[in-house]
Structure 1
Amino acid sequence: MTKPPDESSPKGSWSRTWDGLVSPELSQALFEASTLRKLVDGEMLYRRGDQSRELFGVSSGRLRLSITTADGSESLVGLYGPGTWFGEVTCFDERPRPTDVHAVGQTEVRVVPADKLRAILDRNPIWYRDFARVLCNKLRLALAHIETTILPISVRVGLRVLDLAEAYRFGDANSPIEITLSQEELARMLGVTRQSVNKELREFERRGWVRLGRGKLVLLEGAALRDHVERGGASELLAQ
């Protein structure tokens, strides 16, 4: 099994999702200002509506973002894997958290309180530009997800599988990636039926791109699936 990134420094563990958006100096300053919090499987980091004010970075494990619908069912929004920073929006607008977030397996999270974040930025105002780029990138991603609704279902499923694979990726980009997610959850993320998702995944499996299992799938040929998504008209979305 490939080992996760070295967590003794921000390099690799804190920079992946902000690569090219924030300076190494800012990344280092945030890492030094953070404390480590350990979560057990299923433990809640925060709930929707919470007034918590922290910036978070996943050091190891994974976090699940979800929203509970009116009928009490859970709708998966996304997964955060090692290298992901999140929570900065609430630090700036001081509004309640928009989702529930809990640990998937043993998880370690770096925590930077909002007052420490603001102090770091106030000492170096030019770093506010870095956060402006981060927030603009998140807006682009949100718009990209809206744009996917006009794509063929096969492309949408492939795009989301590639997106989820990033949360489960360690080491060699060409290695198989096991994604722990049911087809029902994937269907809810896409707003389609489970039957539609199953049909497309079965075709992916027939082509040798994925292997299906109970409550999971393994991405075997990421390059081939990526090519399928690009040819389906989503090349710009993959570049996000």
Structure 2
Amino acid sequence: MTDQLVEAARDALRAAGRPRPFAAGARLITAGSVSDEVLLVEGGAIKIVLADPDGAETLAGVYGPGALVGESGVMRGRPRSAHVVALTAGRAVHVAGSTFRRLVDENAAVRHLVDRTADDRRQVADDRQLRQTHDVLTRVGTVLLSWARTVGVPTASGVLVHGLSQRDIAQAVVASEKSVEAALGALRAAGVLTTSRLAIRITGPDELARLVSTPRHRRSP
């Protein structure tokens, strides 16, 4: 029933909105701007980036098809709280804010999707906080596995994650790029992934999962 409600909500948003393509690197939402529409991602991958007043950025999440973004600001009538940037080319349905609020009032399926999206974001935030109790290698491996499940493309030689840079990983795990580089080097040496420009191929997802769950990679209390 839950999956049926979610798909019914997406159908309602598709009927009420306008599909538009986006290019890799496009900024779909800018922090501080007016919250005047909601996006339903239909193809490609995006990242949500939180910007601190001092200019520091944290990668709060990576999402793919089916993701709803921008709904919080529209529902609360507040400016955007984060940047939304396309990691790859794709497309999204744009729904005007007034139309979206009406759908939330009238359509139980859309309300369910909004509630589920909020729950998912809270879970992502909790997971991000929990990761900080681990060392950098474990944090990097864990977040890569999460992204592989969310936006990874299965191939004959592993799961391919497109569009994410070393800086993105550093922002996601709250570590220096140098530390992330060292962690990626260790994971390459372990034979669980390969890297190229803006692409990571996880060649051994099960092996990577076992590696990051090994107690020796946990921080001491």
- Give the aligned CA root-mean-square deviation in angstroms: 3.0
Q: What amino acid maps onto 1:115 in structure 2?
A: S
Secondary structure of 1:176's match? Answer: strand
Structure 2 matches for 1:140-179, cutoff 5 A?
140-170=123-153, 175-179=158-162
* Contact 1:210 1:218 survives alignment (8 Å): yes
1:124 to 2:107 alignment: yes
Indicate the residue corresponding to 1:80 in structure 2: 63
1:217 to 2:200 alignment: yes
Q: CA 1:139/1:65 → structure 2, altered by over 3 Å: closer, same or farther?
A: closer
Q: How far apart, CA to CA, are the structure 2 residues paired with 1:88 and 1:40?
A: 22
1:197 to 2:180 alignment: yes
Where in structure 2 are there 5+ consecutive unaligned residues? 217-221
TM-score, normalization by structure 1? 0.74
Q: Residue deviations 1:78-120, cap 9 Å, x none?
A: 4332332222211211111112223344331111222222222
Shift of the alpha carbon at 1:178? Answer: 3.7
Secondary structure of 1:52's match? Answer: coil
Shift of the alpha carbon at 1:158? Answer: 0.7
Q: How far apart, CA to CA, are the structure 1 residues paired with 2:80 and 2:156?
A: 33
1:102 to 2:73 alignment: no
Q: CA 1:104/1:33 → structure 2, altered by over 3 Å: closer, same or farther?
A: same
Secondary structure of 2:138's match? Answer: helix
Shift of the alpha carbon at 1:209? Answer: 0.7
Q: How far apart, CA to CA, are the structure 1 residues paired with 2:118 and 2:191?
A: 37
Indicate the residue corresponding to 2:45 in structure 1: 62
TM-score, normalization by structure 2? 0.79
Shift of the alpha carbon at 1:60? Answer: 2.0
Q: CA 1:201/1:224 → structure 2, altered by over 3 Å: closer, same or farther?
A: same
Shift of the alpha carbon at 1:73? Answer: 6.9
Q: CA 1:32/1:232 → structure 2, altered by over 3 Å: closer, same or farther?
A: farther
1:134 to 2:123 alignment: no
Q: What amino acid maps onto 1:208 in structure 2?
A: G
The alignment of Structure 1 onto Structure 2 pairs a total of residues equal to: 215
Secondary structure of 1:211's match? Answer: strand
Where in structure 1 are there 5+ consecutive unaligned residues? 1-18, 234-240
The share of aligned pairs that are identical, in percent, is 23
Q: Residue deviations 1:154-175, cap 9 Å, x none?
A: 2211111112224542356984
1:43 pairs with one of 4, 26, 29: 26
Q: How far apart, CA to CA, are the structure 1 residues paired with 2:7 and 2:186?
A: 43
1:180 pairs with one of 163, 167, 177: 163
